[in-house]
Structure 1
Amino acid sequence: MSQAVGNTALAYARAWHVVDAKQRVLGRLATNIATTLMGKHKPIYDPASDCGDYVVVINAKDILVSGKKYDQKLYRHHTMYPGGLKEITFKDLQAKDPTEPIRKAVSGMLPKNRLRKVRLERLKIFEGNDHPYKDNIIVQHGLEESRKVSQQ
């Protein structure tokens, strides 16, 4: 009897994970989210195929950063005009849109290839507890807890 999972529809089925970001450190949270979006937690993982799951992040406004990053971390972008380098601090970006620091952190941890945009579309981030995907959620615990369960 073969133990291989193979290219079955069940193997590529996408689960929905919910993550509570309240009092969680941004970098550690983003690495776990990126791993789940890529599908590295599955036995069928292939870098060239898109086999990751959906991730719903709640309470994004209560995220933490370590050290002095709250005041000193800068996000830069260029408008492509001369002298168009724009900078915004973490504190200002979080006040403007609390979901954006998480999205930028996860985006930076995904591979820079054609699958990046597709994987980021499966990331749903919400400021508070309420989200419209309550019926889809299969995995009720956070990402770190699911890693512990799968390792046992």
Structure 2
Amino acid sequence: METKIYTLDATGAKPGRLATQIAHILLGKNTPDTTRNLVANVQVVVENASKLDITEKRGTEIFQTYSGYQGGQKSETWAHLAARRGISEVLTRIVGGMLPKNKLRTPRLKNLIIKD
């Protein structure tokens, strides 16, 4: 079976609304033969990610990570993360938060290609 490629344009789109569309496609919910235990044979390409409509308030939201060790909690704002790693990392983390927390999350995120 061939890989189906979906292309989304991020120009002027809100990050959360775009991320829900991406997560819906990555989970395979837009096809009638959806299986929850397999990675859908799709690839999502997001173009013009740098033109996302990120408001000033959203730039102050915080991503948190925790290593499990004492003092291992790290916090970073969207704006700082975008400056450090690029807007593609911000969108990837938003989409990753919308996917199920299981072994298929990483393979599904590998089917997401973000172009600035």
Report the TM range for the smaller structure's normalisation: 0.7 to 0.9
1:36 aligns with 2:4: no
**Structure 1: tracts of 5 or more residues without a match:** 1-8, 128-152
Runs of 4+ aligned residues of structure 1 deviating over 6 Å after TM superposition are none
1:73 aligns with 2:61: yes
**Structure 2: tracts of 5 or more residues without a match:** none
Equivalent position to 2:39, from 29, 50, 56: 50
1:113 aligns with 2:81: no
The alignment yields a C-alpha RMSD, in angstroms, of 1.7
1:17 aligns with 2:38: no
Partner of 1:87: 75
Q: Does the residue aligned with 1:19 lie in a helix, a strand or coil?
A: strand
**One-letter amino acid of the structure 2 residue matched with residue 98 of structure 1:** I
Equivalent position to 2:91, from 85, 92, 102: 102
Matched residues, number: 115
Percent identity between matched residues is 35
**One-letter amino acid of the structure 2 residue matched with residue 83 of structure 1:** G
The structure whose residues are more often strand, as a share, is 2
Q: Which has the larger radius of gyration?
A: 1
**Larger deviation: 74-83 or 112-121?**
74-83
What is the CA–CA distance in structure 2 between the aligned matches of 1:34 and 1:52, rounded to whole Å?
14
Partners of 1:38 and 1:53 within 8 A in 2? no
The TM-score normalised by the length of structure 2 is 0.88
